[in-house]
Structure 1
Amino acid sequence: MAVHIEGQTVRGAKVIGSDRRYEGVRLVKCTLSACSLAQFDDPEFSLVVRDSSMQGCRVDRCSVQGVFFDGVTIDGLAAKQLHRLYGCVFRRVVLRGKIGPIMAMGPHTGLAGREHYIAGMIEKYRDIEWALDISEAVFSDADFYYVPGHLIRRDPETQVLLSREKVKNVPREDFPLYAGIWASRFDETPFDTLVGVAPKASSNFSNYMSDIEWLRSRNLVE
């Protein structure tokens, strides 16, 4: 059953556990505060959000772990703090409009059986044609190092594809600041490609772009 919620503030809601599916959820101009959507016991990712959307919403101190997002569109998302997505898998997920600081990272380091979750993520992505579309997103800060870069649809001018093979022989001390951070992510991610994002809404956007030009001049990115 489709659910449409508009203009509401939701505080402290917690959805915890695997083998749950939420479809057709539409959130419009809502605020989610101290909410949790997580599962800690299924590396096959049976906590699923499918064919759903958020438009003009805000998140504050929310926790997300181990979710499979499938066919989800986020059109504008404000965040007071960095919004961390721990160990999530994405298929046909679109981020567009103004998006606050966001990071798709690995499963939480304190998670029991963390290596099984990482293996589950790798397996899930084998059958995914594309994971994320961030080509129309205006980020204040963004890092998607736990999503295979070649599965991300991107703006080639400000969002570049790095590969482990190309950067592995470049001494880390040679990289400028942001490029060095992107290259260092290969120490953490199991994937061989990732996307480096120059966030258009960042006050340091020009510095990010300078680093991208440095990478391009050395044929280190696509």
Structure 2
Amino acid sequence: MTRPAHSSLPAEVQEAFRDGAERFCASVDRALDISAAKFSGAEFSGAEFSGVPGPLVHRDPKTQFLLHRDRAGTADAEGFSSRARSSLAKARTSPYPTPVVVAPTRSKYFKDMFQDPESLRAAGIAE
């Protein structure tokens, strides 16, 4: 997984880091397989994978969602829960167009937490 270079680094270093990450991602079919993973999450949060381009993550689409950064950027967050709004905010700043958000299937709060990414899917922001 990659994270953007720290903002305090010179612009040319940040650009070189981005270019290197893009070249690596373009050279692989899959970077991460979480399709069979069972996440417990913290008490009220799921897992997020924003350091890998979503299309390179092999996932279970029933509980592991792609968030679309462009759609998150134009979405009215008002009608969503605080957890869904947090996911929207993170998607807006993701280095990749489609970060992955996971509903923690092993959490005792799964039913409640599943509603958050599902509401984003219903709004066309996630898939």
Which residue among 189, 197, 211 is the counterpart of 2:102?
197
Query: Which residue in 2 is equivalent to 1:148?
Result: 53
Q: Deviations over 1:32-86 (max 9, x none)?
A: xxxxxxxxxxxxxxxxxxxxxxxxxxxxxxxxxxxxxxxxxxxxxxxxxxxxxxx
1:139 match: 39
Counterpart amino acid of residue 39 in structure 2: F
What is the distance in 2 between the residues matched to 1:120 and 1:188? 19
2:27 to 127, 130, 144: 127
In structure 2, what is the Cα distance between the partners aligned to 1:183 and 1:169? 10
Percent identity reads 34
Change in Cα spacing, 1:190 to 1:107, as seen in structure 2 (3 Å) is closer
Q: Is the 8 A contact 2:66 2:101 kept in 1?
A: yes
Q: Report the CA distance shift for 1:160/1:121 in structure 2 as closer, same or farther (over 3 A).
A: same
CA–CA distance in structure 1, aligned partners of residues 76 and 20 of structure 2: 32
Q: Partner amino acid for 2:126?
A: V
Segments ≥4 residues shifted beyond 3 Å: 107-114
Task: Quote the offset at 1:172 in angstroms.
Answer: 2.9
Structure whose alpha-carbon radius of gyration is higher:
1
More strand as a share of residues: 1
Name 2:44's counterpart in structure 1: none
- The runs of 5 or more residues in structure 2 that have no matched partner are 42-46
Change (3 A) 1:123 1:185: farther
1:107 CA drift (Å):
5.0
TM-score, length of structure 1 as denominator length = 0.47
Report the equivalent of 1:208: 113
* Greater helix proportion: 2
Task: Could you tell me which runs of 5 or more consecutive residues in structure 1 were left unpaired when the two chains were aligned.
Answer: 1-87, 90-105
Secondary structure of 2:37 counterpart: strand
Higher RCO (Cα < 8 Å, 6 or more apart):
2
Contact 2:68–2:97 (8 Å) recurs in 1: yes
Q: How many residues align?
A: 119
What's the TM-score, normalizing by structure 2? 0.77
